[in-house]
Structure 1
Amino acid sequence: MKEYPTKDIAEIVGISAQKVRSYAQALEKAGYAITRNDRGFRIFTDNDVPLFQEMKKQSSETGMNVGEIALTLLKDQNNHSEPVNSEAVTPMQNEVTTPDLPQIEDDRYQLLLDEINTLKQLIEKQQKYIDDRIEQQRDLKYIELLRKSQEVKKADLELAASQEKEKKKGFFSRFFNI
């Protein structure tokens, strides 16, 4: 018996791969067992092709949802005593086991915590850089103000010295500018 992946069934039946997945989910919910490979992907057989073709036909003709169509088709098959699928006897063996969900959540939580800590370190580094730059600019402005203050004091001292020199000159030298 030939096996087909989802995309091949989609081409054979003339529907999209997404529609094949939708039909397959509806059939599985209705009790139809679809074989899965070791990676958990659905594998379809020649027996599945007519079922998908009929689902496509009824979907376009009746307008029923795929869940109702799947139930109707499987009920009709059971009434005609046709085997639904050879794998239907043991549906549990076809189910893919998922890893422990709490462990996955713990791993995701830890990953998020690590990412938060990395971002926190980055923010602290940026804040230190900003603080250092502000401190440097403050220091430069302080030095500039000190220089201006010293220049003003120097000018005041020179003015005071010249005024003192003027006072020491005699009356005639000041009067005649000698």
Structure 2
Amino acid sequence: MENAEEYGYFAKDVAMDIDITTSTLRRWSIELEKAGYHFQRNEKEQRIYYERDFKVFREIKKFLGNQVPFVDAIKSVVSMDLSKKNASKTPSVKTDELRLSRCELEEIVNRAVKTAVEEEREKMFQMFEKKLNNTLERRDNFFIEEMRREQEERKVLIEEVAAVKEKEKKPFWKRLFGG
């Protein structure tokens, strides 16, 4: 086995790394095999991809990005000797490294954003409630002060009315001569 010292990947991992769909990866792999490229397979006949295969797919993607026809890109890549450029090992499929699909990552990000938005909204509600309570307290204090002022004015008026009534109770001659 020529890649015995390397760690292999399954199609999902390769597709995610190259940023293509697994069906595109499958189609590219079939066309490469038709052109004479060989992939290692496991006991279930599934393709196992190694670092040299990653390089092949990256080259195909680069060619296609430069408007090279698919058939020509496949022929060009098969004619290259990318296997000798394989100096580094890739991490094993069985490592503790966490790999997520785009959907899983989007779901995690969406949940984090939703949580952050909910927390921010809660803070805003708390600030609004505090501001509302402060406004209501100022209004209440203003009304209480107005009521006290009106009570004082009433008290003065009542005293003035009482004084006038007291004067009216005095006989006419005392009122006339100031006595």
The TM-score with structure 2 as length reference comes to 0.48
Q: Which has the higher contact order (CA 8 A, sep 6+)?
A: 2
Between Structure 1 and Structure 2, the one with more helix by share is: 1
The TM-score with structure 1 as length reference comes to 0.48
